A and B are shown apart, each in its own frame.
Chain A
Amino acid sequence: MQSTGIPERNRLTQSLLGGKVQVGLWQLYKILKKNEDLKARRHPMFEKNRFMKFLAWFLIIYYAAILLLMGVMMPTAMKGAYNGVAAFHVLDGGLIYFILTDFWLRFVLQETPAQQAKPYSLLPIRRSFLMNVYLAHAGFSLGNMFWAFFLVPFGAIAIWPLMGFWAFLSWLIGWWLLFIANGYAYLFVRALCMKHIAWALLPAAIHAGLLALMFVPEKNLLDMPCTEFMYAFAKIQLWPYLVAFALITFFYLINFWLQTKMVYNEVAQKEEVEMKHTTQMNFLNRYGAMGEYLKMEIKLRMRNKQVRMGFIIALCAMLFFSAMLYFTDVYDGTFMKSFICLYDYVLLGVMTLPTIMCYEGNYIDGLMSRRQSIYDLLRAKFYFNSISILIPLLFILPLVFIDKISLWMNLGYLFFTAGVLYPCFFQMAVYNKDTLPLNQKITAKQANTMQQIVTLVAMFLPILIEKIAILILGNPGGYFALIAMGLVGLATHKIWLRNIYTRMMQRRYVNMEGFRATRNF
């Protein structure tokens, strides 16, 4: 910072307005950070998010405690398990497992920070600086340190006594650097997937290649190199650091290049303006107004990047898990069969229903100025989702034919999803008041914490209910109960949808205010 004698505020203002006095990068970083904090604090969902964030933190602490426990117990368990090899060498040999698990878990757990390029695009702030801030945030994210709950106790027990504190610290830093690199690799792939979902095949192919090197040859080809690599960190040698920094730099730079390009294309709305063809869907005309709302639901998914992306991801995930269950015996356990069957059915709903009405927040005033339109829209959404459930049925039927999943479990989850889980998801229509952008991907915001928690609950609660039903009524009696519950939900859909509509209309002013306030947030 130059010493100009100008009061600090004036200097910042001059800089932002293009004056000659330049503000320091650190101060600019602080301004951007402050704006981000203000944005979060002034968000209409802040109060609700705060409660849900508390729940999310509770879950984090829970899993951290499990990792901590494993970190304490595993050194003893591993010691001597492999002909006297030190426990940390055994762990280091499994480096690839950690990297792969960390990478794919990020798709589920990591909230991709939304790019905030647009508000600053006309200010005299260098684009590269904004991107550096974004990437620095991602690199120093606390998420990259989550494994420390496991690695710190493990290293403290397995390395510190043998090699001393500095070896332990260097080893930890080594892991941390690799997770940072992995985080950047994830960001890169995620950005590519937003261009086209097929890019998910890139890491899948690379990771499959790594696994092949471990499992196909008689001897694991990656075990020793990984052990040596991490051991070199513990010995505080320079070369592993150089490798780690080279990886970080590589992924940082390709992220920088790709994300800059994508963000500014999106902000500039470089989109194909003319459509090649428009779909008429005349077959829905016979259903009158309901047919029109159904067309709208279909077009919502076809023509909006954000929504379409969720739909495609759900299809790919369904296909992947069903194929894994079909072709391998990795998931042959009872729990995993139940989970995959449920996962397939619930996934399409999970991708859109926790945020139900959030996309409609973009044109809520138009809907609200027409009679009953929200009720008809809710019905169309229910019919659309109920019909869509036939897609996972197609994926699961082959599993039924080869006896990996029972017919009753299949039908149980199908009806339970449509008749019980969907009504639960639809309750969110009463409370959601946060507009989600339809067509942005990189700069778009994420679902709020409450919606994420609802999603998580939907993924596991039904399994608990299934287990309880089977415990009480046996097999297939438990599944008959699930089917019965589902049928009741389906048969009464007009009643509970009307109830949701009535409650939503009672909260309409609060919701509409929220939708308006968050429309361009």
Chain B
Amino acid sequence: MQIQINNLKKCFGEKVAVNIDSYTIHSGEMLGLVGNNGAGKSTLFRLMLDLIKADNGDVHMAGNFQETDVDVNVAETEQWKDWTGAYIDESFLIDYLTPDEYFQFIARISGISSDDLKTFLDRFSHFMADEVIGQKKLIRNLSAGNKQKVGIIAAMLLRPQVLILDEPFNFLDPSSQSAIKHLLTKYNQETGATILISSHNLQHTVDICPRIALLEHGIIIRDIDNRDGQAQTELEDYFQITD
């Protein structure tokens, strides 16, 4: 599924949060979004998910869904929700359910059978590390890391063609960070899904994203080809990590 951003602008008062003339994320691409705090990463994701209103411009998703060619403006229809999975923050989680109940809820409202759900969750068993499923704990009582895992897994449950994850490595222990990197790469390769992740962790972003967009004050100032991993130096220079 291709994502096309056109003249997208969002301001909060005087502050310009997002201002992108034109940007295309090609079908099957894995894009990393990096930038300092306030650069507009989360706002851009929220605009893409129609969770906030753009002052100007639009976001289109186009491609083939269930053997039909589609091209939709996300602000004008809900159709894109059928092929999009996302996790931004805890406001995506129904915290008075247990993780099992939450997954079951998402599965049933999406028409996924119990068997398929079980098969799907089995793939994440290493990632969940026996701390999420079968715990008899409500989501609100989980650690921040385990909440993050629930959110990421739920976003992928629909087997979306577009997957949007805001700071997926946050709160995760090193093993889980490694596991999610592996899962995302594999998912991208298996399904050809378009994956967008934002992160402050440059190393992880460089490791898994062949393309990286650097955001500053809402503007994509660099569109870095990272197919051979050359983005590391450029990003470190920008963020002044090295002397």
Contact = CB atoms under 8 A, between A and B. Distances in A.
A293 B141 CA distance: 22
A379 to B, nearest CB: 12
A516 B97 contact: no
A296 B91 contact: no
B170 to A, nearest CB: 16
Contacts of B79: 371
A275 B95 contact: no
Contact of A371 (B53, B82, B95, B108): B82
Contacts of B104: 292
A366 interface: yes
B70 to A, nearest CB: 14
A264 to B, nearest CB: 19
Contacts of A260: none
B92 A372 contact: no
A273 interface: yes
A296 B105 contact: yes
Contact of B81 (A275, A371, A512): A371
A293 B94 CA distance: 12
Contacts of B94: 296, 363, 366
B69 to A, nearest CB: 19
B51 interface: yes
B52 A363 contact: no
A308 to B, nearest CB: 11
A129 to B, nearest CB: 30
Given A296-B97, A368-B51, A369-B51, A516 B141 contact: no
B98 A278 contact: yes
Interface of A is mostly: helix
B141 A366 contact: no
Interface residues of A, number: 38
Interface stretch (B18-26, B132-140, B227-235): B132-140
Interface in A360-379: 362-366, 368-373, 376
Interface in B69-97: 78-79, 81-82, 84, 86, 88-97
A364 B95 CA distance: 12
Given A363-B91, A365-B89, A371-B82, A299 B136 contact: no
Contacts of A368: 49-51
Contact of B137 (A275, A371, A372): A275
B109 A513 contact: no
Given A299-B96, A363-B92, A509-B53, A369 B136 contact: no
Contact of B136 (A278, A295, A304): A278
A376 B109 CA distance: 9
A365 B92 CA distance: 5
Contacts of B84: 369
Contacts of A288: 108
Given A289-B108, A299-B96, A512 B51 contact: yes
A106 interface: no
Contacts, number: 88
User: Which residue among B82, B106, B140 has the maximum number of chain A CB atoms within 10 Å of its CB?
Assistant: B140
A369 B87 CA distance: 9
B207 interface: no
A380 B201 CA distance: 42
Contact of A292 (B50, B89, B109): B109
A438 interface: yes
A190 interface: no
A289 to B, nearest CB: 4
A363 B138 contact: no
Given A288-B108, A289-B109, A376-B109, A369 B81 contact: yes
Contacts of B96: 299-300, 303-304, 438-439
Find the residue from B86, B89, B91, B137 having the highest chain A CB count within 10 A: B91
B108 A278 contact: no
A509 B54 CA distance: 10
Given A274-B137, A275-B136, A369 B95 contact: no
A273 B95 CA distance: 13
A445 interface: no
B136 A274 contact: yes
Given A295-B101, A295-B105, A365-B49, 20 more contacts: A285-B108, A289-B108, A299-B97, A363-B92, A363-B93, A363-B95, A364-B91, A365-B88, A365-B89, A365-B91, A365-B92, A366-B92, A366-B93, A369-B86, A370-B109, A370-B110, A371-B82, A376-B109, A439-B96, A513-B52
List the 7 closest pairs (A to B, CB-CB), nearest first: A366-B92, A509-B53, A371-B81, A365-B91, A303-B96, A289-B109, A273-B141
Interface of B: 49-53, 78-79, 81-82, 84, 86, 88-98, 100-101, 104-106, 108-111, 136-138, 140-141
24 contacts: A273-B141, A275-B137, A275-B138, A278-B136, A289-B111, A293-B109, A300-B96, A362-B91, A362-B95, A363-B90, A363-B93, A365-B88, A365-B89, A365-B92, A366-B93, A366-B94, A368-B50, A368-B51, A369-B49, A369-B81, A370-B110, A373-B109, A509-B52, A512-B52
